[in-house]
Amino acid sequence: MAAARSDVASASDLGPANSISVSNGVLAVAIEADPKTDPGYVAFYQSADGSFLSAVQVGALPDMVTFSPDGQFVVTANEGEPNDDYSVDPEGSISVINLTGGAASALDADVATVSFGSFSAADLQAAGVRLPRPFGATVSQDMEPEYIAVSADSTTAWAAMQENSAFAEIDLATATITSVWGTGTKDFSLPGNEADVSNRDDTVYIANWPVQGLLMPDSIASYSYAGKTYLITANEGDGREYIGEAADAASCTRGLADFDDGECLVYLDEIRIRDIVDAGEVGASIDSAAVNRYAGSQTDTDGDGIADIFENENLGRLKVIATEGLADPSCLNAGGQPTAACVYETLIAYGGRSFSIFDTESQRRVFDSGSDFEVVTADRLGPDAFNATNDANGGDDRSDDKGPEPEAITVGTINGRTYAFIGLERVGGIMVYDVSEPESPRFVQYINPRDFSEDPQNPDDSYNPAAGDLGPEGMVFVPAADSPNGAPLLLVGNEISGTTAIFQITVSELAR
């Protein structure tokens, strides 16, 4: 039975906080349970003095919480991740809390938690939703809501399921999921979609490649234009890796059953392209018309049995999704990895290294920023910082993974124009675009307060403040009307440095 409000006297009785949102003097905090596979909570506080108001139960692992603009609803994305050894896998869900009676009197009866049980796997896959369903997971167990955006009129919410690369639309009044659809992929072989895919090429090499990218957005936001609502997405990409504890190799038997020093690797859905074709690793096949058109796809210059295009200085180091693009997915082993019997018809990487805009009515992607993020960062930062990670200096480090990894996104209106702010989790910094016309955004600025001349870590591995802000994770736009100094502001929370940056925004007229 769900816990009643009176059963929770303070959020200190609960688990770690994952997300906060504020509206009309009320602070909502999304709190996971211990263990995280149990139902979580949302706790409410007075924002003025921090006094506790109430707490209600939501789904497992509430990863993000937000108020509707009118303050009537609070919505959580309950990711429902499995435990470390994938033996317990709760359903992913979305909770809608009706605050008509006020946050102080909120009860569990005011919460509607909905999962994806009414959707069939076949229908979702036909709509472009990724559903690998490890260990026989149900649809609801495999769906993992990550982030929420709400329409300006407070009637509709959208959830991003990052690992599924999909969106769900939610009617807030009825707390029902009305539709689910996939983000689609991005073709890195097309002009304008270039990427640097190797950390072993000793240079910045942004080029086209015969690879698709599954967008897998993390943060999303919504805004209105010409009477329609658009979703704007930070296309980070994310893999699944689950490692449980094991006393010895004999007790490491689930999934991949890969034992190492007290740990048992159970599930992993990523693999480097070279390892797919290397007979000493997997020895599977890549039978792709797209790949076969590329130079070096049939040539083995060094005679090592690996085609030139799959060598480490080309595509070989790139991590792709092991479970996707297969002629027959039944060739995979229980831990999500390919066997020698597998044939890949398409190579699908993690994320888009970009931001996108979607029309919520047509569910159509109307814009993608293409190769902008890597082109701009290469130009502004140079090869010694390009695609660096967020806790160490060194260029090209993340090229074989997900590049700059756009993580955070928010939108704001200034002088009648709508701007998108996108935080790059790895290399750092904020990309700014004018997105007032959703189908034709324009790049405005890239700013990065990180100091690459300073090591991000001190000798004792603590954060070095001289390195600046590292790892932008979340952002809030403050309009001028709500700003303490009367100017629009951007607040950025940085995960690695543990810092908060406040940017004051000044807008100059752009040439048209």
pLDDT in tens, 330-384: 999 999 999 999 999 999 999 999 999 999 999 999 999 999 999 999 999 999 9
CA distance 199 to 313: 7
pLDDT reading at 3 higher than 90: no
Largest CA distance in the chain: 73
Q: What is the rounded average pLDDT for all residues in the chain? A: 96
Three-class secondary structure of residue 512 per DSSP: coil
Q: What is the pLDDT of residue 324?
A: 98
What is the pTM for the complete model shown?
Answer: 0.96
Residue 493 vs residues 37, 288, 336, 427: alpha-carbon distances, Å: 27, 42, 34, 15
Q: Tell me what pLDDT residue 32 has.
A: 96
- The residue count of the chain comes to 512
Residue 7 has pLDDT above 70, yes or no: no
CA distance 495 to 341: 41
By DSSP bridging, strand 228-235 and strand 354-359 are antiparallel
3-state helix, strand, coil in the chain (%, to 5): 10, 35, 50
Evaluate if residue 2 carries a pLDDT over 60: no
- Asked whether 347 and 357 are in contact (CB, 8 A), the reply is no
Percentage of residues in the chain with pLDDT exceeding 90?
Answer: 94
Average pLDDT (32-48) is 96
Cα atoms in the 13 Å half-sphere on the side-chain side of 368: 24
What's residue 207's pLDDT?
A: 98
Give the Cβ contact number of residue 417 at 10 Å: 15
Query: Which residues are within 8 A (CB) of 510 and not within 5 positions of it... i.e. 6 or more apart?
Result: 434, 442, 444
Query: With bands split at pLDDT 50, 70 and 90, how would you rate the model's confidence at 449?
Result: very high
For tokens 């640097």, name the residue. 196
**In this model, does residue 4 exceed pLDDT 60?**
no
pLDDT of 508 reads 81
Q: What is the dihedral of CA 306, 309, 315, 319, to 10 degrees?
A: -40
- Portion of the chain with pLDDT greater than 70, in percent: 97
Residue found by looking up tokens 């939703």 in the block: 129
No. of H helices and E strands in the chain? 5, 33
> Does residue 281 register a pLDDT over 90?
yes
pLDDT single digits (tens) 243-272: 999 999 999 999 999 999 999 999 999 999
Where are the chain's structural domains? 1-140, 269-349, 351-431+439-512
Q: How far apart are CA 2 and CA 88, in angstroms?
A: 19
**Residue 215 DSSP code:** -
Burial of 293 (0-12, 13-18, 19+ CB in 10 A): exposed
Q: Which residues is 364 bridged to in the sheet? A: 359
Say if CB 80 and CB 93 are below 8 A apart.
yes
Give tens-digit pLDDT for 128-167: 999 999 999 999 999 999 999 999 999 999 999 999 999 9
Distance, CA of 479 to CA of 381 (rounded, Å): 30
pLDDT at 5: 52
d(CA 29, CA 499): 20
Please, which pLDDT band fits residue 511 given cuts at 50, 70 and 90?
low
What is the per-residue pLDDT for 295? 81
- Look at residue 415 and tell me whether its pLDDT is greater than 90: yes
Among residues 507, 380, 396, which one has the least CA distance to residue 450?
380
| The pLDDT of residue 286 is above 60 | yes
Structure confidence by residue, pLDDT tens digits, 178-206: 999 999 999 999 999 999 999 999 899 99
The Cα–Cα gap between 16 and 442 comes to 39
pLDDT score at 310: 96
**Beta-carbon neighbour count of residue 34 at 10 Å?**
11
Given the DSSP bridges, would you call strands 263-268 and 241-245 parallel, antiparallel or unpaired? Answer: antiparallel
Confidence band of 293 (pLDDT split at 50, 70, 90): confident
The pairs formed by 245-248 with CB atoms below 8 angstroms and a separation of 24 or more are 245/84, 245/85
Mean pLDDT of 99-123: 97
Residue 6 has pLDDT above 70, yes or no: no
Can you tell me the distance from the alpha carbon of 59 to that of 57, in angstroms, rounded to the nearest whole number?
A: 7
Determine contact, residues 130/120, Cβ cutoff 8 Å. no
Confidence of residue 174 (pLDDT cuts 50, 70, 90): very high
What does 412-466 look like in DSSP terms, one character per residue? EEETTEEEEEEEETTT--EEEEE-SSTTS-EEEEEE----TTS-SB-TTS-B-GG
